[in-house]
């Protein structure tokens, strides 16, 4: 995992005594800003600086402008003078560019797992997300290897997978109104026992709990800026947002952590050393929980990536076939409505009978048939309709019969 945002400069030589604030100002630069300023002081132009940093000329120009703003100068000549007052300029040490996919897996797997762990506070999900990202990079290695920073592409893919909406992991967006939450207890530094390897300390748990209370975008911007040392422009490019939005998320995330755990990060989020102190704490927590995750086999990652891609492609093709079959069946008149349509009710009987209730009381659940002279026992002879006797006559006939 990379160092915190502000790199520590080496010992300042005697030339820096002519400009007492030069060393302090140079410590405020991010690694890429320091590299760009060092190459500018060496006499290189913007295209050469961009080629050395592996970025576009516009991005290199942004790094120089941000460095000049932090140094408080207006021209490049003044920036070079400040850099010369504290020469040599502290230039960040960068790892060599991986030439193969196997080299990328070996060099970047551990720090990618540690960085992803800070977003999720789950080691299992961090390892799973990084392996999915590496598998995706193996399928697109021709495109990924041509990028200025292949590891940044894998990191962005892992972060997107770890912070997917269907995963639990804190609020998905920032809200202006929230219910009051319980205060996070922070154990004093002297009372925190040293845990076993691979286990978090009590103070690390408190910091990660406060970090998970931030929205996912603020959490990601804070980790990229304060822990990985990326500038606001680089954070905005990785998160696909504007620079102003990235800066606002970093400021809001710092303010949220200052309210939740002031004993750890400090009560003032605008302090100059707030980001450096927070980056160091995050780095220690990530290394403590994920000291040395097991390295996956690059060949196995390639096989899993191809199998996963084949399964997704097969599922999509099967869905297309099912939809096509449903459309053809509907056009042919055998739609789903034909299969699930209820049967038509049978018409009521025309002629009366014992079972339909015309010759007596209606049978349960049946309707009486129609009384018609066409209904008779003998075909061709109409039935004789006789009026029913009155009730008292029927009662008398029954009594006389006795």
| Domain segments of the chain as ranges | 14-85, 101-174+197-289, 298-335
Terminal alpha carbon distance of the chain: 112
d(CA 86, CA 34): 12
Query: At residue 55, does pLDDT exceed 50?
Result: yes
> Which class would CATH give 14-85?
mainly alpha
Q: Between 327 and 384, whose confidence is greater?
A: 327
* pLDDT averaged over every residue in the chain: 76
Q: Are 275 and 254 in contact (CB under 8 A)?
A: yes
- With 90 as the cut, is the pLDDT of residue 158 above it? yes
Q: Given a cut of 50, is residue 277 above it in pLDDT?
A: yes
Cα angle for residues 212, 125, 305 (degrees, 5° grid): 140
pLDDT tens by residue, 61-81: 888 888 887 777 788 888 888
Q: What pLDDT does residue 311 have?
A: 86
Lowest mean pLDDT among 182-196, 280-294, 363-377: 363-377
Q: What are phi and psi of 347, to 5 degrees?
A: -70, 150
* Whole-number Å distance between alpha carbons of 369 and 135: 75
Distance of alpha carbon 37 from alpha carbon 50, whole angstroms: 12
Specify the CATH number of the domain 101-174+197-289. 1.20.140
Nearest alpha carbon to residue 39 among 109, 91, 100: 91
Q: Write down the pLDDT at residue 310.
A: 84
A 10 A CB-CB count for 203 gives 20
3-state secondary structure of 296: coil
Write the pLDDT tens digit of every residue in 28-53: 677 778 888 888 888 888 888 888 87
pLDDT of residue 177: 55
C-alpha triplet 1, 199, 290: angle, nearest 5°: 25
- Over residues 215-246, the pLDDT tens digits come to 889 999 999 998 888 888 888 888 888 888 89
């Amino acid at each position: 995992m990379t160092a915190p945002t502000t790199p520590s400069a080496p010992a300042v030589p005697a030339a820096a005594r002519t400009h007492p604030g030069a060393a302090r100002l140079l410590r405020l630069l991010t690694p890429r800003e320091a590299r760009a300023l060092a190459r500018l002081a060496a006499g290189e132009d913007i295209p050469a600086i961009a080629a050395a940093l592996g970025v576009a000329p516009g991005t290199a120009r942004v790094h120089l402008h941000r460095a000049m703003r932090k140094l408080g100068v207006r021209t490049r000549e003044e920036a070079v003078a400040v850099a010369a007052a504290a020469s040599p300029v502290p230039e960040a040490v960068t790892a060599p560019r991986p030439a193969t996919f196997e080299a990328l897996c070996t060099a970047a797997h551990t720090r990618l797992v540690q960085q992803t762990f800070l977003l999720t506070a789950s080691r299992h999900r961090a390892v799973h997300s990084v392996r999915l990202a590496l598998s995706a990079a193996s399928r697109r290695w021709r495109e990924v290897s041509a990028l200025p920073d292949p590891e940044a592409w894998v990191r962005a893919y892992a972060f997107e997978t770890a912070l997917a909406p269907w995963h639990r992991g804190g609020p998905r967006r920032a809200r202006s109104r929230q219910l009051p939450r319980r205060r996070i207890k922070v154990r004093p530094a002297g009372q925190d026992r040293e845990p076993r390897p691979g286990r978090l300390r009590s103070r690390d748990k408190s910091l990660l709990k406060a970090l998970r209370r931030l929205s996912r975008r603020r959490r990601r911007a804070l980790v990229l800026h304060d822990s990985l040392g990326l500038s606001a422009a680089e954070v905005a490019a990785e998160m696909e947002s504007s620079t102003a939005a990235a800066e606002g998320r970093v400021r809001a995330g710092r303010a949220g952590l200052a309210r939740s755990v002031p004993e750890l990060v400090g009560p003032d989020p605008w302090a100059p050393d707030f980001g450096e102190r927070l980056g160091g704490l995050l780095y220690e927590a990530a290394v403590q929980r994920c000291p040395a995750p097991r390295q996956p086999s690059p060949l196995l990652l390639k096989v899993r990536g191809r199998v996963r891609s084949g399964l997704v492609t097969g599922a999509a093709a099967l869905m297309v076939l099912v939809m096509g079959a449903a459309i053809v069946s509907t056009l042919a008149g055998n739609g789903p409505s034909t299969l699930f349509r209820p049967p038509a009710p049978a018409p009521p009987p025309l002629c009366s009978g014992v079972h339909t209730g015309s010759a007596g009381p209606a049978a349960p659940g049946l309707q009486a048939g129609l009384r018609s002279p066409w209904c008779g026992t003998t075909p061709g002879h109409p039935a004789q309709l006789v009026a029913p006797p009155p009730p008292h006559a029927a009662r008398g006939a029954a009594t006389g019969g006795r």
